[in-house]
Structure 1
């Protein structure tokens, strides 16, 4: 059995000023063929899961087409998406395959095309009108009906933090292999709820509404389908910062029997509507959190700034939390992670360790979210920005931040990077000479994925609201293509 694999994994924040280009994919994942197998082997990613699945199925050959992934940011340059679509859809290596597995995010946006993943699958369908195609998606996907209708099977991450990427791939491939071997005529049904569920209260590593939805989806699938593989339901929550018409929460159901599948989709969607109000975020301001001095009793504290979280399309540039921290009386040894400021990094590298710099942090790219903070900084450390993830999320993947610097500003050690990636792994901090378990207070541009590595390593983890491209209060963001009512979680609406 020959199974083709292709990957387009990018989450686009419509309100980010940072356009995503080829260089951003090349810094993370841009590969094909044997090179892809080498890159992904033994990693906790979807292609890594596909490789581990194939190792358990000696009758299967994987054929890697173009695989591309970039860290979340603004929309992707359209000419690059056009090139990538053509490379995959016209790839001679896919000739003669028995099935196709696509690792998709579901929230990619082009600078022209608002739904490039549907465009990609449509191009593949034109070439392979009858070929079984399975796909996996991020929990924060924006899935159009046209996209779901072109698939034979689909999975979605069930965990947040997303530590089941490899499992999502393996489950999709189990279904795909079953379809190929048994000639199954399966389809994917989409049921949306006309609501967008913000991710602040969406963690599944403890009690919460998304964990309850996942449990209900599994239980309902077993009740309707018994021990059979189909129907199976995968809820998804959409991406709250994608200003595209297909932004909507719902459920994907893979089924053979349309009536069974529709019954399962209707049930899960109804359950999601019943829980929607529990997703409503209510974050205190940065000033309020710091004024409470949660470290005063000796607790080790992490204060997160999700409004500028890179994994939500943040730009590593908003000054809100940093400004509030300047006069908060933080204990010596506290850390701020991070600012993306290539010019300051270059200046630190030129000046060298021990140099003192007069700099401004924040608002380098976008002044809509606050003015820059002027400060005097001592250069403590400079690095090449390269490390390998060692914690649960994307374990084994190599990361390149570009050159970085560690600065001292008052009592704070401040990490400044060239690239813009969330500080979600122990190796990120160790690169800068910081042992995370020795940090009394950590201020981080991060969100729920932070907990995959550090959930049990701080006494207190508190998120705060600041201005930024991924703030909780979406009413302050200029949506044009998403109806405002989709953010109203207090009012029920039957669809």
Structure 2
């Protein structure tokens, strides 16, 4: 069994490219390291590797690469994957019974809008040239932008069903079980249904419509028809300016392709009947604070959600369009996390207990605000490593259960406690802040740079939460973005 991983969610409007160095900073594992560094880490790769070993399959590792969501991937990074993967495939093609790929599905490079589709097509050509007919199975993120080539040149695709992605490892286990059925002789056909709808990340949480209703209908169909192996409800990733961007549906069936197509038509109808919920309206900061002030007394912080700087969607994590105005109101008890290596270095030079005057955030580009003046005390300095408290959290789907923010600092004054990091890290697990001595449970307001992925970690501690419309390239108002390739797509109601 040949195994590889290539994982990146690409935000094509970001100016900073995702380089080979970004992959090496997160995951760049060759040969046996692709097994050893993933077994037991709670990731989708672990799900496949552990299940395959339990089945007694011999795994031939190639390369496993992953990087934090960001700008277009350099061709150098794609070439690094291709050179290793295809060399091993050519060498081992006579010895394999199948190929298992852990992918994202929304990867864009400097020269290619459909990295996964091109990869799968190239694999198919190698297998055809060498006279091999073996299953090729891919695990996808729920936010994949699925192309026709991804479907036509794979045997079966299997996507996450939860957002936040608490089922990422479980999905890989499920895909591995389906892989076993394929190797036992089950023949399947994949049927694909694209839609014209591009929904922002804030509109595709699995506990809310439209995703909730479409997912529920898909599970009902799977339960009622034993010939359906898998139905994927793909929310899409709105910040990839590519023709295949958007919501899509995919079905693998051992039966009638026509019947599968009718199922997908039914699911498209469910989506359209709940479409309004997929384009939620956000508050201004003033509206959010007024609503917070009107709440009855209670325990826990108010979450001020800032999806326009959704780190898990690729943005830099240093936006200040919410933090600056919030601090300017004079309110106290604020907790925030800002990615700012320069300020971390200033804090480290000053030392714990020192008074510092910083200009925090707003340093990546012109889209995410200006630096905010902040004077306070350095309360903590660490190497930024932490263990996830939720072992199946959305963050585990990306990096496993150990995380590294790089050198980090906590600064504090009478208004706010701010965790400064060197490497942007999405707020998907409370271990991030607890490991640094920060207690968001005791705050009045917590600034959360996310869309949906924070919910499993932060909702249980919150008194209430409000989405705030701010500047940033992960804005929920998709009409603000300069798309060029989405002909015929719908960005709003």
TM-score by length of 2: 0.92
* Alignment partner, residue 373 of structure 2: 374
Q: How far apart, in 1, do the equivalents of 2:446 and 2:296 lie?
A: 14
Q: Which residue of 2 aligns with 1:131?
A: 134
Residue by residue, what CA displacement relative to the aligned partner does 1:365-415 show, whole Å, maximum 9, x if unpaired? 112343322232322211111112221314552211111111124410111
CA contact (8 A) 1:320 1:370 kept: yes
Unaligned stretches of 5+ residues in structure 1:
491-495
What is the Cα deviation at residue 135 of structure 1?
0.8
State whether residues 233 and 254 of structure 1, in contact with CA within 8 Å, keep that contact through their aligned partners in structure 2.
Answer: yes
* Alignment counterpart, residue 453 of structure 2, candidates 449, 452, 467: 449
Matched, 1:215 2:225: no
- 1:412-441 Cα distance to aligned partner (Å, 9 max, x none): 011111111112212211221123433332
Match of 1:107 in 2: 106
Distance 2:201 2:349 in 1: 40
Secondary structure in 1 matching 2:109: coil
CA distance in 2 between counterparts of 1:353 and 1:11 reads 37
CA distance in 1, matches of 2:184, 2:449: 47
| 8 Å Cα contact 1:384-1:403 kept in structure 2 | yes
Cα RMSD (Å): 2.0
Shift of 1:238: 0.8
Structure 2: runs of 5 or more not aligned? none
Instruction: State how 1:4-15 maps to structure 2 within 5 Å.
Output: 4-15=2-13
Residue 386 of structure 2 aligns with which residue? Answer: 387
Query: Is the Cα contact below 8 Å between 1:234 and 1:253 reproduced in 2?
Result: yes
Conserved 8 A contact 1:104-1:138? yes
The verdict on how the C-alpha distance between 1:179 and 1:283 changes in structure 2, with shifts beyond 3 A counting, is same
Aligned position for 1:260: 259
Deviations 1:155-197 (A, max 9, x none): 1111010011112112222222111112x33232210111112
Q: Which residue matches 2:193?
A: 191
**Counterpart residue number, 2:166:** 163
Contact 1:304 1:444 in 2 (8 A): yes
Partner SS, residue 486 of structure 1: coil
- Cα drift, residue 349 of structure 1: 0.8
Q: Say if 1:30 and 1:68, in contact at 8 Å, map to a contact too.
A: yes
For residues 129-175 of structure 1, give each alpha carbon's deviation from its aligned partner in whole angstroms, at most 9, with x where no partner exists.
32211111111111111111111111111101001111211222222
Q: Secondary structure at the match of 1:221?
A: helix
Partner SS, residue 374 of structure 1: strand
Distance 1:485 1:127, change over 3 A: closer
Which residue of 2 is the match for residue 61 of structure 1? 58
Q: How many residue pairs end up in the alignment?
A: 479
Matched, 1:435 2:439: yes
Is this contact kept in 2: 1:389–1:399, CA < 8 A? Answer: yes
SS in 1 for 2:472: coil
Q: Of residues 70, 84, 90 in structure 1, which corresponds to 2:87? A: 90
| TM-score with structure 1 setting the length | 0.92
